[in-house]
Amino acid sequence: MTRRWTQRPPGSNWGDFGDDDQLGRLNLLTEAKVREGVAEVRAGKVFSLSLPLDLPGGNVLNPARHPPRLMPTQRDGKPMFLHAFRHDHNTTDVACDDRVSLSLQYSTQWDGLSHIGSHFDADGDGTAEMVFYNGYSGEADFAHAQDDDGGWSRAHRLGIEHMAAKGVQGRGVLVDLRRHFGDERRRIGFEDLMRVIDLDGVEVRRGDMLCLHTGFADLILGMGGEPDGDRLARACAVLDGGDARLLDWIDESGIAALVADNYAVEDRPYDFKGDGCHALLPLHERCLFKLGLHLGELWHLTPLAEWLARHHRHAFLLTAPPLHLPGAVGSPLNPIATV
């Protein structure tokens, strides 16, 4: 075990799951939590919680991210597209074989713990370094090189493969913000969230994966690949990352992961009102950097939320592994809820 820090950020849990831990709060997905999730399966009905990965369409939500582009692989300089194996006249096979250029966080996704770090003086030498959850170092533990093809990068620590190997299964619990606040933009702080949880009688337990339904992904789906950026910028509930009580509750609740169907769980860019140096995405900073709490974004929660509301239920079995893609900082996925 190697402790990578001499001072840990205030409000963090670094070291609590071990000095070499790379799973963070996913450690709370124990065998008992899987059994709790399975105990929520009564109807046997299954919901896929992924948007088609080519939605929202265009790059309105984030100019750096683009829809996936499928291309055929090449064989002997020829595209493997409706390829006939003509070298043997007795063969009947016709083959297609794809590759893809994919922004991993374009659509339904997990944010990995290597997605957002912070400038922080973890070694106490008086200078801030780029550090990530549990004190892993941007300089030492991440690699990147530029070349004519746009280069390559890799998180040698905190890559999404740790989450994939864990499997990610347990009790999911849904809070339906859309039913209370509708489809207009509203910043949700501690008071609002607690009121909805109380009114709806939602039981959020330690080790649960908490899913927030806002309706945002449903609006995207309705836009059919031609997203209206202005409408989306004014649409649906977003958590208030500037509400310290909300961030403390996320910590104290003991949830294992936090998921929303909106773009970034929290409002973005957050208009910080205080002075001095601050995080642009304070909820990301608290969750990914300080607590090792994975964030799910752009999950398609509406059909599940509607079914749960009709049946006066909130909990379900959630199975949500990312791609097992070593070194990646996030991943698309097709999460499955079973009720």
Question: Strand pairing of 209-213 and 98-101?
Answer: unpaired
CB of 287 to ligand UVW, least distance (A): 10
Q: Rule CB under 6 A: say whether 62 interacts with ligand UVW.
A: yes
Q: Which is nearer to ligand UVW, 112 or 207 (CB)?
A: 112
Distance CA 259, CA 172 (A): 10
Query: How many CA atoms lie less than 13 Å away from 334 in the CB half-sphere?
Result: 5
Q: Which is nearer to ligand UVW, 8 or 115 (CB)?
A: 115
Q: Which is nearer to ligand UVW, 258 or 318 (CB)?
A: 258
CB of 130 to ligand UVW, least distance (A): 15
CB of 68 to ligand UVW, least distance (A): 16
Q: Which is nearer to ligand UVW, 116 or 317 (CB)?
A: 116
Residues whose CB falls within 8 Å of the CB of residue 302, separated by 6 or more in sequence, listed in order:
178, 213, 215, 217, 218, 261
CB 188 within 8 A of CB 153: no
Q: Which is nearer to ligand UVW, 264 or 328 (CB)?
A: 264
CB of 290 to ligand UVW, least distance (A): 15
Burial class of residue 308, CB neighbours in 10 A (0-12, 13-18, 19+): buried
CB of 65 to ligand UVW, least distance (A): 8
| Residues of span 69-108 touching ligand UVW by CB under 6 A | 105
Structure tokens of 6? 């001499």
Q: Rule CB under 6 A: say whether 264 interacts with ligand UVW.
A: yes
DSSP conformation class of 158: S
Q: Which is nearer to ligand UVW, 107 or 302 (CB)?
A: 107
Q: Rule CB under 6 A: say whether 153 interacts with ligand UVW.
A: no
Distance CA 179, CA 177 (A): 5
Distance CA 90, CA 107 (A): 44
Q: Which is nearer to ligand UVW, 163 or 315 (CB)?
A: 163
Residue 291: closest CA among 74, 16, 99, 86: 16
Q: Rule CB under 6 A: say whether 12 interacts with ligand UVW.
A: no
CB 162 within 8 A of CB 22: yes
Q: Which is nearer to ligand UVW, 25 or 115 (CB)?
A: 115
Q: Which is nearer to ligand UVW, 296 or 327 (CB)?
A: 296
Residues near ligand UVW (CB under 6 A), total: 6
Length of the chain as a residue count = 339
What would the x/- binding string for ligand UVW be over residues 291 to 320, using CB under 6 A? ------x-----------------------
Burial class of residue 260, CB neighbours in 10 A (0-12, 13-18, 19+): buried
| Residues of span 177-236 touching ligand UVW by CB under 6 A | none
Distance CA 62, CA 69 (A): 17
Q: Rule CB under 6 A: say whether 267 interacts with ligand UVW.
A: no
Residue of 24, 37, 53, 111 interacting with ligand UVW (CB under 6 A): 111
- Taking CB atoms, the residue at the shortest distance from ligand UVW is 264
CB 113 within 8 A of CB 132: yes
CB 172 within 8 A of CB 317: yes
What would the x/- binding string for ligand UVW be over residues 113 to 152, using CB under 6 A? --x-------------------------------------
Distance CA 83, CA 87 (A): 11
CB of 265 to ligand UVW, least distance (A): 7
Q: What are phi and psi of 170, to 5 degrees?
A: 170, -155
Interface residue list for ligand UVW (CB under 6 A): 62, 105, 111, 115, 264, 297
